[in-house]
Copies of this chain bind each other. A is one copy, B any other.
């Protein structure tokens, strides 16, 4: 790792530089861990304590954020996250995409269409009719069945599996082990003289459409629709181990945090945020911008913009009041007994 001057780095990030353009740094590091020859990142006033203690002498900061410490060189950027990401790249601290080109061990069916500069890693298997956009990158051991479309600049990490006919947009990132397009869970009862005697698989002829700029976490599972599409809207982000049932519609920019499960045919509004482990039943509507607290179990529609929480999720304020009262139940029970005794005593008097 060679050193770089702040002048060079500012040019790279489009930053305006306050401080010493000749200061040379060896790489990026967290405030708490940086040495004096490293550059760090101060993105929000809540990290003021770490800022006060850091040994770094240079920082990437948002254009207008006040920096409550003297003597540091600052790279001020419009988009500090993106600037820091660029620095990580310069210093080779980010996971690399596989090299452009098709690895000789990859298996491509005849007629697969590859855009310019695609990367296809070792052990990938790509079925007939697949189309990959420019610079799409498949890490090793990815499997695309037939007729899968992958947009430009999309990256699929190792072991991702996309079933037949799935469509993934541009600039998406799908983490390792995610499965896209498995059959929806649909079985009709076979009723006999003894009641239900078995299950009749409901065909799932639909697909999954992942729009542009979606991120999907490790080991997620997204089912195909019964007829139409399960859809993950533009810019939505899914964390690890999320389940999305058949025909679910996830709105643009929604966040589904780790281990969320969404039942079949439910729709999640634009920009809704489902915290970790939230479960949503089937056939519900979660409104735009709704927020559901972690591990909540949702059995009814949630209005747009609402804040819900609880096992049997309800408006968060109501939940918190009920929780407080629930924790006073012992006291309430005692007071009730006291009233009963008092009344009895007076009755006898």
Q: Which residues of A contact B (CB under 8 A)?
A: 28-30, 32-33, 41, 43, 79, 81-82, 84-85, 88, 93-96, 103, 105, 107, 121-123, 125, 139-141, 143, 145-146, 157-159, 161, 163-164, 173, 175-177, 179, 182-183, 185, 187-188, 195-203, 205-206, 213, 215, 217-221, 223, 226-228, 235, 237, 239-241, 243, 245, 253, 255, 257-259, 261, 263, 271, 276-277, 279, 281, 289, 294-295, 297, 299, 310-312, 314, 318, 321-323, 325-330, 332-333, 335-336, 339-340, 342-343, 346-347
Distance (whole angstroms) from the CB of A332 to the closest CB of chain B: 6
Query: A103 — nearest CB in chain B belongs to which residue?
Result: B107
Contacts A164-B96, A182-B176, A196-B271 given; does A203 touch B158 at CB 8 Å:
no
Q: Is the CB of B105 within 8 A of A200?
A: no
Q: What 5 pairs between A and B have smallest CB-CB spacing?
A: A30-B227, A221-B240, A295-B297, A179-B218, A218-B221
**Cross-chain contact of A28 among B121, B182, B205, B333 (Cβ < 8 A):** B205
Distance (whole angstroms) from the CB of A162 to the closest CB of chain B: 9
Q: Is the CB of B187 within 8 A of A237?
A: yes
A255 to B185, CA, bound (A): 10
Contacts A182-B176, A198-B235 given; does A311 touch B314 at CB 8 Å:
no
Can you give 25 contacting A-B residue pairs, CB < 8 Å?
A: A84-B205, A88-B205, A105-B105, A107-B140, A123-B125, A140-B143, A143-B176, A161-B176, A161-B177, A185-B239, A185-B258, A187-B255, A199-B255, A217-B221, A221-B258, A241-B261, A263-B276, A294-B297, A295-B311, A297-B311, A312-B323, A322-B329, A328-B333, A332-B333, A343-B343
Please, which residues of chain B bring their CB within 8 A of the CB of A314?
327
Query: A203 — nearest CB in chain B belongs to which residue?
Result: B85
Q: Is the CB of B217 within 8 A of A182?
A: yes
Q: Is the CB of A122 within 8 A of B146?
A: no
Please, which residues of chain B bring their CB within 8 A of the CB of A125?
121-123, 140-141, 158
Distance (whole angstroms) from the CB of A128 to the closest CB of chain B: 9
A148 to B207, CA, bound (A): 32
Q: Is the CB of A257 within 8 A of B185?
A: yes
